[in-house]
A and B are shown apart, each in its own frame.
Chain A
Amino acid sequence: MKKMLAIFFLIMITGVAFSTWINEFVSAYASQIIEGHRVIVEERGDTTRLRYEDVLRNGYNEIVKVVAPDFFEWAHLKGRTYIIFGNEMKTSPATIVDSEQMFIKALSSDPSKVSTSTYNGKKSYRIVVKSRNATYTALVLSPSLILVYLKIKGRSSQITMTYDKVKIVPLDYFNAVVSKFKIVNKPPSSIEVKVWKLVYHLDNVSVASLSVNGISIAIVSGEAEGIGNIVVYVFKSSENVSTSNLVSQFKSKGYSSFAFEQNGIRMVFAGSIEIGKLKEWVNKIFKAK
């Protein structure tokens, strides 16, 4: 009986201790200023994507430079996502999700398990969080409490993030880097929002720009779920473009096509699928009445 009680108390004490440790880690994460290089592997079905990123992070504020496969810079500052163009930070039409911040969010709300471990021979903690949609496994160095490894296993995909270089940097350094940028808090344009919506909902997506007789047209192409390959021409309603002319061009080649207008933006959709299904997909994406 005494033995059982002792085990019970030990479990209780350990649980309380780890719970306190988690709070300590979350606070540490929120105040850390680090610079590092990480590798992110996204696995979804047969597709594997690899990203190399340089990260400069101050708590939840961060500047991320994607160095490969395609160079791209973005930032999270004061809860807002920015896209970096040269020395300018422009408001992003969409929030960029960072798996680290997803993990911290899950850690604060979902049940977790902490155990001691090693990472490249260094003492570390292993944290496992089980949320409704995914299981997070993280490795945090001891005693610095720096996150060095994270695996998120979802129902049909997996993300693995590994820091191969990471170090603490002073606040002045972070502030100096941020101050070099001019922050443009301008809301994204209607055309940007529409193109983003298409990009988000299409797989293997690509965007091309066409400028004919001073008219700018964005051409988005990709695979829509249950629809197949589609092409969408996006342009401002004010542009002198005849949608019926474009639609008939596609129809003459045997494709289904129709035009759609919303918030001053015109879109011409074309695909091999029957017109009813194509319209259904568009209505679903743009919630058209």
Chain B
Amino acid sequence: MECNEYREKFIHESMSRQEKEEFVEHIKRCSGCRRFVERYNGARDFIKLRTEYIPSEFLEEKILSKIKTKRSIKMLYKVAVPTAVIMIIGLFFVIKPLSGRQIMYEKVASAGIEMLSSKRTTRTSTNSDFSYLVKIKYASDQF
């Protein structure tokens, strides 16, 4: 018999006594059929065990919770990561103008700070749209 014929008959348990003896002799020589028999027996034992063993509620819950956690992590990757990326990009566009405004205020205030820190002894020259107001003051006779 060929290997495949032996294996099929082995799975279906349809070998005659003689065929079984021949297959035992064949296994000794054929490493492929030997490995097949080993694997098949392992799988069959596991199935047998699975049908005979009923897990405790605790273990079931533990398994379910692990599955949920795994799903949550998957969701996190699907939703939270893109959201975070969008937020970071958004913040970049918000913070950038804000820092620009901050610089503007620093610049605007620095002119006044300079005026406050300088010790004035005489009237300084005026350069403004409102400079004529200073001229009004000094053109007006005051006593």
Contact = CB atoms under 8 A, between A and B. Distances in A.
Interface of A: 40, 42, 44, 49, 51, 64, 66, 70, 72, 74, 83, 85, 92-99, 102, 133-134, 152, 154, 157-159, 161, 192, 195-196, 199-200, 204-210, 212-213, 216-219, 221-223, 229-231, 233, 242, 245-246, 249-250, 253, 255, 270-272
Contacts of A250: 109, 112-113
Given A94-B136, A152-B143, A204-B122, A271 B116 contact: yes
Interface stretch (B28-36, B78-86, B127-135): B127-135
A217 B108 contact: yes
B141 A83 contact: no
14 contacts: A92-B136, A93-B136, A95-B140, A195-B133, A196-B133, A199-B133, A206-B124, A208-B111, A208-B115, A212-B104, A229-B120, A233-B112, A249-B108, A249-B109
Contact of B137 (A199, A210, A216, A245): A199
B136 A74 contact: yes
B125 interface: yes
Interface of A is mostly: strand
Interface of B: 101-102, 104-109, 111-113, 115-116, 120-143
Contacts of B139: 51, 64, 66, 72, 74, 96
Given A102-B141, A199-B136, 12 more contacts: A51-B138, A64-B139, A93-B133, A157-B142, A159-B143, A208-B111, A208-B127, A209-B127, A218-B128, A221-B116, A231-B115, A231-B116
